[in-house]
Structure 1
Amino acid sequence: MPAPQMHAHADERLLALVGGDLDVPLVGGEWVRYANFDVAASAPALRQVADIVAELLPYYGSVHRGAGFASLVSTEAYTRAREITREFVGAREDDLVVFTRNTTDALNLLAAALPADTTVLTFVGEHHANLLPWRRGDVRHLPVPASPADALEALEAELRALGGRNALVSVTGASNVTGEVWPIEEIARVAHRHGARVALDAAQLAAHRPIDIAAWEVDYVAFSGHKVYAPYGAGVLVGRADWLDVARPYLAGGGAVRAVTADGVEWTTGSARHEAGTPAALGAVAIAAAVGALGETGWERIQTHEQELLERLLTGLDAIAGVRTHELWERGHDRVGVVSFNVADVDPALLAAALSAEHGIGVRDGSFCAHPLMEHFAARDDGCRHAVRASIGVGTSAEDVDRLLSAVEQIARHGARWSYTERSGYVVPDPDPRPRPSLGGLLSGPVAVQASACRG
């Protein structure tokens, strides 16, 4: 039964998360409840998602191949997950729903399926997942726009210059650095006026806003399970079948074929063409469970809850001396709960490490796999191309926001209390006495962590 439509209160967590009441150690020896402000990177599983996956696990079997009862249940669950995902994004009846590993995988799949004469237009401030896949062909990078209107004007001019050639416009739904929502419907209208198609990177949008690609006239959409509280290794590409049905299969292998001979192959069409091998059935079911839970909760409730927390966070950061937040455009445009900021004279990596080690608060620091956009902010604001990012979601409460604000203010005024060092590209406590969970012995010995290029 759908949840009643009512306004959420910012002092409450809207949905239960796995790890929502996790206690973590501090370097001083205390334990506190973990405040997770890194959901824009990878959100924890919704409790009801984990419960559904746990219910399916005893029945886990080969999808589309086995005759046993467990395989039958797994196949039916996987098939139903595809239909639920189709409904979630508002897909057209003849659109394909292809399960992938994540958004990056989905956009790489689409890039590999483009007709050879396709020119791709995208903005230079996109996440790397929506920049790099297109570089295997003809791609035009539009500059970071000063406003949504500037984005539409730049797109209009570039499409006009292409003179009706085959084109794809690929754009984010919401910035992973600032949370600002892009004018998706307007972009689609401009693109279609010039005969171009539109791909939507909905990685940062799907957990916060309803999606309707048929109504928006968007041709393709991609998002990740781990962004929508279903971190079980699956993502999604949904869109028009014609390019996908004639493209070389993304993976060559079992399941993508109709027939194989010693020297030939007849490939299938439809979603299976690009899903060779054993699929991530648990991940697909987790996505379906997650988007179902979000829909039942109600988008009005989700948006009200998150907007109240976002305003609380922005107002609090504005009141702290030395804090500068980053925005593409002037305040007032629609945005999801993502805020990137810097504190004067405090290295972002140190700030993030101190928030974790001394306060039990998880944030992200670095360039957020959006290097050109962070370079843009650094040049425009005469600042650093690294920042700290705090992101909120259905498991965030007003108490969490207030803890973050208090900790940032304390560090801004007095600095970190512990000593820190750089190791493998990370700033870490030195020493770090915090005990780790054993995980069945997996973490019983020393672990060498490699730096992520998105931090640099």
Structure 2
Amino acid sequence: MIATDERTPPSPALPAPGPLAALVDAGLEVPVLGGGFVRHVNLDVAASAPALDAVAAHVARVLPYYASVHRGSGYPSQAVTTLVEDARIAVARHVGARVDDLVVFTRNTTDAFNLLATAVPGDTVVLDLEHHANLLPWRRRRVLVGSSTIAATLDALDSELAARPAALVSVTGASNVTGEVLPIDRIAQLAHARGSRIAVDTAQLLPHRRVDLAASGIDYLAFSGHKSYAPFGSGALVGRADWLDAAPAYLAGGGAVESVRLDRVDWKLGADRHEAGTPNVVGFAALARALAELERLGDTARHEHEAALTERLHAGLARLPGVRVLRGFDDAADRIGIATIELEQGSVGLVAAALAAEHGISVRTGRFCAHPLFDRVAHRANGLRASLGAGSSADDVDRFLDALARLVTDGPSHAYERTPAGWCPRIDDRPRLAID
């Protein structure tokens, strides 16, 4: 049994890194039951990451110039038109796009794959470990159930494509449940050898690792700004133009057309074809600025910071009795800063509610919009996920491990009840948020 008056000790062999990047929620204090405030620990960044300080400052500078895009004659209109097109170039550069690839701005990864699904001229093969954003949009979908190892799963994928060719293979870059990173280069080679293209969901991977579309042989990738420290409603689909030029316009409206007559519409080619309506100028500018800031932080620094915290998190969880960390593959050698656990006893929903209400720690519970994978690897109905980011620190990890140990051993200090909205304190004396 873990004593309730002990903190989970950090490993002396590991560094204790502080935040790598400045985020707008740094130093945020939240109320806890019984009165008082504590520094908020955000371990739910895999769902939505806060904005980088640099992104928020950039948005503040952009807003005075907000105006119509592409057709306005005024200086602000011309300025924001340049911002949008510069953002397109910045996204292409960041992901290593080929010179003739398209960058189509979308709302998020889900939106991007729903767009791509209208363009695929045949079947799409996906794995059962996919987030629903990369599982549900495909119109002619074949789902391959993963094996206990990555090697066996890729062998099965190769056999599936050999037996029944597919136009597209669409896979995640990193699981949002386990954090395990897939060997995208190998999957791209395998798909191309069987005459298929490959699309990659990089919503989880891109905020942690640099993705090079051309070098990896990826045909399409999609990602979301809200997971990449730019939560302003933007995302992108990047990839080969031919399928997208042949597809129907994703949104029918102004900006996507060359000309309109009552009996005929001539649609544009390129990104414009799928970006009808007034664009999310602020979101696109924020996304480009976030990617530039990630580049400034450096790939090596980001990897070392996250690797140290991820090891600290997993090592601490391994010491806790009654806690099981979910894995998808026995041979996965690489993972981003995600750990999903299930409890031998008790409710993860209750634990998550107590983490927030009593300790000021945000996590996520459920099946994480990846139901088939969760159902295959978990023993319980729901899990609890802690996820790290560029603003995470060793103290964040230690506070989580300490609070989790106390809750698993002794339970919450306050009474809770299960409601239609989930577990809630029976008496919640925390002040309600009022934003003027």
- TM-score range for the pair, normalised by the shorter chain length: over 0.9
Shifted more, 90-99 versus 415-424: the winner is 415-424
Q: Cα distance, 1:346 vs. partner?
A: 2.0
Alignment of 1:73-88 (within 5 A): 73-88=79-94
Residue 50 in structure 1 maps to residue 56 in structure 2: yes
Conservation of the 8 A alpha-carbon contact between 1:10 and 1:305: no
Residue 125 in structure 1 maps to residue 129 in structure 2: yes
Conservation of the 8 A alpha-carbon contact between 2:150 and 2:331: no
Alignment of 1:167-182 (within 5 A): 167-182=167-182
Q: 1:299 to 1:49 in 2, by over 3 A?
A: same
The residue type paired with residue 420 of structure 1 is: Y
Q: Normalising by the residue count of structure 1, what TM-score does the alignment of the two structures yield?
A: 0.91
Conservation of the 8 A alpha-carbon contact between 1:344 and 1:412: no
Shifted more, 328-337 versus 16-25: the winner is 328-337
Q: Cα distance, 1:385 vs. partner?
A: 2.7
Corresponding position of 1:390:
386
The residue type paired with residue 119 of structure 2 is: A
Q: Cα distance, 1:432 vs. partner?
A: 1.6
Conservation of the 8 A alpha-carbon contact between 2:171 and 2:201: yes
Corresponding position of 1:244:
244
Q: Cα distance, 1:139 vs. partner?
A: 1.6
Corresponding position of 1:145:
147
Q: Cα distance, 1:433 vs. partner?
A: 1.6
Once residues 167 and 246 of structure 2 are traced to their aligned partners in structure 1, the CA distance between those partners, rounded to angstroms, is: 17
Once residues 186 and 256 of structure 2 are traced to their aligned partners in structure 1, the CA distance between those partners, rounded to angstroms, is: 36
Q: Cα distance, 1:424 vs. partner?
A: 2.6
Alignment of 1:186-197 (within 5 A): 186-197=186-197
Corresponding position of 1:361:
361
Corresponding position of 2:370:
370
Once residues 38 and 331 of structure 2 are traced to their aligned partners in structure 1, the CA distance between those partners, rounded to angstroms, is: 34
Conservation of the 8 A alpha-carbon contact between 1:42 and 1:226: yes
- Deviation string for 1:362-420 (max 9, x for gaps)? 00000000111111023xxxx20310000001100001100000000000110011111
Q: 1:39 to 1:106 in 2, by over 3 A?
A: same
Query: What's the C-alpha RMSD, in Å, of the aligned pairs?
Result: 1.2
Once residues 331 and 59 of structure 2 are traced to their aligned partners in structure 1, the CA distance between those partners, rounded to angstroms, is: 40
Corresponding position of 2:9:
none
Alignment of 1:77-226 (within 5 A): 77-115=83-121, 118-134=122-138, 136=139, 138-162=140-164, 165-226=165-226
- Deviation string for 1:91-140 (max 9, x for gaps)? 0000000000000000000001222xx11111012111111001x2x221
Conservation of the 8 A alpha-carbon contact between 2:120 and 2:167: no
Conservation of the 8 A alpha-carbon contact between 1:253 and 1:277: yes
Residue 312 in structure 1 maps to residue 312 in structure 2: yes
Q: Cα distance, 1:263 vs. partner?
A: 2.1
Unpaired runs of 5+ residues, structure 2, are 1-13
The residue type paired with residue 131 of structure 1 is: L
Conservation of the 8 A alpha-carbon contact between 1:377 and 1:385: no
Q: Cα distance, 1:9 vs. partner?
A: 5.7
- Deviation string for 1:262-308 (max 9, x for gaps)? 22110000000000000111111111000110011101000100010
Corresponding position of 1:448:
none
Alignment of 1:402-417 (within 5 A): 402-417=398-413
Q: Cα distance, 1:188 vs. partner?
A: 0.4
Q: Cα distance, 1:199 vs. partner?
A: 0.3
The equivalent position to 2:415 in structure 1, one of 410, 419, 429, is 419
Q: Cα distance, 1:169 vs. partner?
A: 0.1
Conservation of the 8 A alpha-carbon contact between 1:185 and 1:217: yes
**Aligned-residue identity in percent:** 52
Once residues 167 and 72 of structure 2 are traced to their aligned partners in structure 1, the CA distance between those partners, rounded to angstroms, is: 42
Once residues 76 and 154 of structure 1 are traced to their aligned partners in structure 2, the CA distance between those partners, rounded to angstroms, is: 47
Conservation of the 8 A alpha-carbon contact between 1:191 and 1:197: yes
Conservation of the 8 A alpha-carbon contact between 1:10 and 1:306: no
Q: Normalising by the residue count of structure 2, what TM-score does the alignment of the two structures yield?
A: 0.95
Residue 430 in structure 1 maps to residue 426 in structure 2: yes
Conservation of the 8 A alpha-carbon contact between 2:150 and 2:332: no
Once residues 50 and 15 of structure 2 are traced to their aligned partners in structure 1, the CA distance between those partners, rounded to angstroms, is: 21
Q: Cα distance, 1:67 vs. partner?
A: 1.1
Once residues 337 and 58 of structure 2 are traced to their aligned partners in structure 1, the CA distance between those partners, rounded to angstroms, is: 27
Conservation of the 8 A alpha-carbon contact between 1:352 and 1:365: yes
- Deviation string for 1:174-215 (max 9, x for gaps)? 000000000100000000001100000000000001110101
Over 2 Å off, 4+ runs: 8-11, 422-425
Q: 1:423 to 1:281 in 2, by over 3 A?
A: same
- Deviation string for 1:114-169 (max 9, x for gaps)? 22xx11111012111111001x2x2211012211111210111011002xx45100
Corresponding position of 2:435:
439
Corresponding position of 1:447:
none
Once residues 356 and 125 of structure 1 are traced to their aligned partners in structure 2, the CA distance between those partners, rounded to angstroms, is: 28
Conservation of the 8 A alpha-carbon contact between 1:317 and 1:323: yes
Aligned to 1:132, the other structure's residue is in SS state coil
The residue type paired with residue 59 of structure 2 is: V
Shifted more, 326-335 versus 69-78: the winner is 326-335
Conservation of the 8 A alpha-carbon contact between 1:207 and 1:228: yes
Aligned to 1:133, the other structure's residue is in SS state coil
Aligned to 2:118, the other structure's residue is in SS state helix
Aligned to 1:113, the other structure's residue is in SS state coil
Unpaired runs of 5+ residues, structure 1, are 1-7, 441-456
Aligned to 1:177, the other structure's residue is in SS state coil
